[in-house]
Amino acid sequence: MKRLISIGVTCTMLTSAAVAQNFQVEPIIGFPDFGYMEDPGTGDGQYTGPVFVLADQYPTTMPALDQGAQDILQMDFMGDSINYAVAVRDYIFEGNIRGGDVERDFDLHLNTNNRDWYHAPWQHWGSLGREGYHGLTREGPLSANVLDKTQTDSSYAYAVGFYNGPGGLTFGKVWPSADQGPDLSSLIAGEGFPEGTIVGKFLFTVLDDTQVGYLTNPLQWNAYMYNCDVPSSPSYLKCSTDKTRSTQKINLLQMDIMVKDSRAVDSAGWVFGTFAYNGNLPAKHDYSAACEQYAGDGKKWCNLVPVGVMWGNDPDNNIGYLNETPSVDSPTFFNKTLTQTVINPSPDLPAQHLGWAGRLDGPADNPGSSCMSCHSTGQYPAVSPIMLTFNPAEMPQNGEKADEEWMRYFRNFKDGEAFDPGRAVSTDFSMQMLKSIQNYVEWRSQSQDGKYAVQYWTDNNVNAVTRGSVFE
Ligand code: HEC
């Protein structure tokens, strides 16, 4: 039986939220902040709770690398991978978790550690665009069994990502003004993101501990999400005909990290890592001392257990393996022959499906891919799809040797090198950079009945950069 989790927000509930929007955080009305939100209302019924404000005042000169980032760049991501991942996690937490009301955490404008963080522009647009509580976009499908064997309902992940100062610099170069289109010259020159860029991302789901045990004791945010993704809604699974949204409580599931670290020579200077939420852990545990400072529900961020780290795609490792139904009786598979992925051996980590042949992937990610496989397709125009197939049955199966076409998705890359050199410009593993450019071009084409020459750069169809179905 499904538990009713819909909280159907009424105007009364909304006014009681009582934190008015602060105009000081947004003196310049730049890029749109979001695409979907409860009606602001009028008079007594006006919504005065927290609203997502895009952090888009990108720096124009390279910000000094703070001590935290410098320390991370000294750590050994190969030999001490799990501690490296935790250090990056804690760096991202610093000044963004304020203790108490987690709804106010990760409002990047309020960072109390004097660190600047930025969002990618142009993610508001389109049917999967940002909602107005936390800037969450609708992401990949969470098909039955993908989170645990006991998960019978499917849904979609909702997520938000952000970049530190050096990452913001690159966004500022490509997006010098909200009033003009992207300037691709720095990407064409192969500049990419500077050393010390750190990226974080949180993924949430409306699925809960009735089907996914480790989502107990959840860290919850509001989301203005599609009813067709909510198992308790009459609109459930009717996405093609029912486009309604409502306010729902969603549960933290996964955290992703990316670090531009020039020592990662096989992966265009990127190190990727991921974490899975485990609410069964005591709120205070031995993952890091940094978490002891957070009060109340703020401690729950520390229930994010490292899954692992990767700094390359292990291009020669071509025999399939897939743990299709992770669960207590089907635990995480460790492919010991991989040399560029490390998976956390801790029993605190819930069983994982991981990526193809045991490469790094998070609980919400497609098991036929890997973090770096998918992100290596970050290029404009998107002339190759992000994956060859989303269907697990069509992937090289357990023990089966993958063909060359499949292994094209598990190559290693030099800094600035595109997935399809000469046919597209690399966005340096940034999928949100790619989406910002693609969304802008699509919007302009549609709203002004025009086409851009850039749409003819290639003879191929340009692929939608999405893991889920796009519905218009
Ligand atoms: C099948 C494709 C795919 C896989 C696998 C994948 N990602 Fe992503 N990732 C994306 C896309 C697409 C976005 C842009 C946001 C969205 O989905 O709309 C993104 C966004 C991100 C962001 C925000 C910065 C950016 O690039 O825009 C981070 C950080 C990130 N992913 C890390 C990871 C990590 C770590 C893993 C592995 C645990 C991973 N991703 C696996 C496709 C993928």
Paired strand residues for 249 = 222
Give the Å distances, CA to CA, from 91 to 88, 256, 257, 261, 273: 5, 13, 11, 15, 13
- Which atom number of ligand 1 is nearest to the Cα of residue 123? 18
- Which atom number of ligand 1 is nearest to the Cα of residue 435? 14
- Which atom number of ligand 1 is nearest to the Cα of residue 254? 38
Domain parsing of the chain, residue ranges: 11-363
Give the Å distances, CA to CA, from 141 to 164, 188, 201: 28, 33, 17
CB under 6 Å to ligand 1: residues?
137, 139, 161, 199, 201, 256, 258, 272, 274, 360-362, 365-366, 369, 371, 374-375, 386-387, 430-432, 435, 465, 467
Cβ atoms of residues 235 and 244 within 8 Å: yes
**176-182 long-range contacts, Cβ below 8 Å, gap at least 24?**
178/30, 178/31, 178/56, 178/121, 181/440, 181/441, 181/444, 182/436, 182/437, 182/440
Q: Please state the pTM of the whole predicted model.
A: 0.93
Residue 201: which residues within 8 A CB-CB, separation 6 or more? 159, 160, 161, 162, 255, 256, 257
Ligand 1 centroid, distance to 371 Cα (angstroms): 7
Q: Ligand 1 pocket check: which of 395, 432, 466 to mutate, most ligand atoms within 8 Å of Cβ?
A: 432
Residue 449: which residues within 8 A CB-CB, separation 6 or more? none
Specify the pLDDT at position 324: 80
Specify the pLDDT at position 404: 96
Kindly report the backbone phi and psi dihedral angles of residue 443, in degrees, each rounded to the nearest multiple of 5, phi listed first.
Answer: -65, -45
Q: How many CB atoms lie within 10 A of CB 284?
A: 11
- Which atom number of ligand 1 is nearest to the Cα of residue 163? 24
**181-187 long-range contacts, Cβ below 8 Å, gap at least 24?**
181/440, 181/441, 181/444, 182/436, 182/437, 182/440, 184/380, 184/425, 184/437, 187/380, 187/425, 187/426, 187/427, 187/428, 187/433
Q: Ligand 1 pocket check: which of 201, 305, 395 to mutate, most ligand atoms within 8 Å of Cβ?
A: 201
Q: What is the pLDDT of residues 173-230, one digit of tens each?
A: 999 999 999 999 999 999 999 999 999 999 999 999 999 999 999 999 999 999 999 9
Give the Å distances, CA to CA, from 399 to 304, 334, 346: 32, 14, 26
What are the residue ranges in the chain where pLDDT is below 70? 1-24, 283-288, 458-461, 466-472
Ligand 1 centroid, distance to 416 Cα (angstroms): 18
Ligand 1 centroid, distance to 76 Cα (angstroms): 23
Specify the pLDDT at position 345: 95
Specify the pLDDT at position 460: 57
- Which atom number of ligand 1 is nearest to the Cα of residue 120? 27
